[in-house]
Amino acid sequence: MKADPPWRYRWREPAAGLLFVLPMLVLFVVFRFVPALGAVGMSLTDYKISGDWEFVGADNYQRLMDDPVFHASLRATLVYAAVYVPLTVVLSLATALMLNAMVRTVGLFRGALFLPYVTSFVLAGVIWLWVYQLDGLLNGLLAKVDVGPVDFLGDTALVLPSLAVVSAWKGFGYSMLILVAGLKAIPTEYLEAARMDGAGPWQRLRSIVLPLLRPALFFVLVVETIGAFQVFDTIYVMTGGGPTRASYTLVYGLFDQGFRFFDFGYAATMGVVLFLIVLAFSLVQRFVLDREET
């Protein structure tokens, strides 16, 4: 019977792996974990820009619950997420299926579809400001069918869906690549067997592709949900939270409290509550969509 190797040999591979991830682990702890704990502590204080602070306990959280601006920003964020997340996931899935079915020039189309993702939010915002203007491209097209002009960014009912379209156009490329990788991992034998059994494209998509793609879809859904709740750049460039705070989201309110009013304790409170909301949504998605597959 072969004797077990000494403990120093048993720990050699785990120790080597830890050394490889140690630099990133240190960066994560220093720049993510420690600031997150600091934000929780700051949310319990009245922190001044001078560095002076006073412990106030849960007063900031009570103030937040009674703040009508916070309630309005939460509603705006939920409406934006309700439009942005399904739109981005459907668009990413549709383009991933298209690319997966292509044989030639797939690299060209993949690069073209991914290009908006690497474009800066400022540049994307400037481009879409021109598209949405009353005399811009979209209203010019609508005028040809005797519709409009439509004030996409000035109408309180249209501003959030319009911003969600911009963000979906800007960000779907990343999710598309994740889903393309998931589609490539599906064994072709399954699809061939289903085709030989007489299953049509819709049946193969519903019964084989989507179930096997569910882990990738779950990842995309969680990532896009987090991105929806953290939206800031597009709104800052295109609307500034308007009109009449119709696009005033949680992160925009956090930005105002921290860097406009210098109320750092209250801003930290908003950040902590935002984290808890995103965590709750992620756990619900985990329970509903990916119970045992991940």
Query: pLDDT by residue (tens digit) across 68-114?
Result: 999 999 999 999 999 999 999 999 999 998 888 876 777 777 788 88
Question: Quick one: pLDDT at residue 294?
Answer: 43
**Contact residues for 69 (Cβ-Cβ < 8 A; gap 6+):** 245, 248, 253
Q: Is residue 285 part of a domain?
A: yes
**Is the separation of the CB atoms in 81 and 225 below 8 Å?**
yes
20 in any annotated domain: no
pLDDT value at position 4? 56
Record the pTM.
0.88
3-state secondary structure of 6: coil
Task: Please check whether residue 182 lies inside any domain of the structure.
Answer: yes
Instruction: List helix spans (H) across 102-207.
Output: 106-114, 121-132, 137-143, 159-184, 188-196, 201-204
201-215, 217-231, 253-267: which has the minimum mean pLDDT? 201-215
Q: Tell whether 15 is covered by a domain.
A: no
Question: Does some domain include residue 50?
Answer: no
Q: Which domain holds residue 270?
A: 63-289
For residue range 116-149, what is the model confidence (pLDDT) as tens digits? 888 888 888 889 999 998 888 898 888 888 887 8
**pLDDT of 5:** 59
Q: How crowded is residue 131: how many other Cβ atoms within 10 Å of its Cβ?
A: 17
| Residue 46 covered by a domain | no
254: in domain: yes
Residue showing tokens 């597959």:
293
Model pLDDT, residue 6: 60
How much is the pLDDT for 42? 92
At residue 1, does pLDDT exceed 80? no
Where helices occur in 46-145 by DSSP H, the ranges are 59-65, 68-101, 106-114, 121-132, 137-143
Phi-psi bin for 282: left (phi > 0), alpha (psi -120 to 50), beta?
alpha
**What CATH code is carried by the domain that includes residue 244?**
1.10.3720.10
Position 120 scores a pLDDT of 85
Instruction: Output the pLDDT for position 189.
Output: 85
pLDDT digits (tens, 9 = 90+) for 23-48: 998 998 898 889 889 999 999 999 88
Number of domains in the chain: 1
Q: Residue 43: inside a domain, yes or no?
A: no
Least confident of 10-14, 75-79, 169-173: 10-14
Are 178 and 257 in contact by the 8 Å Cβ rule? The answer is no
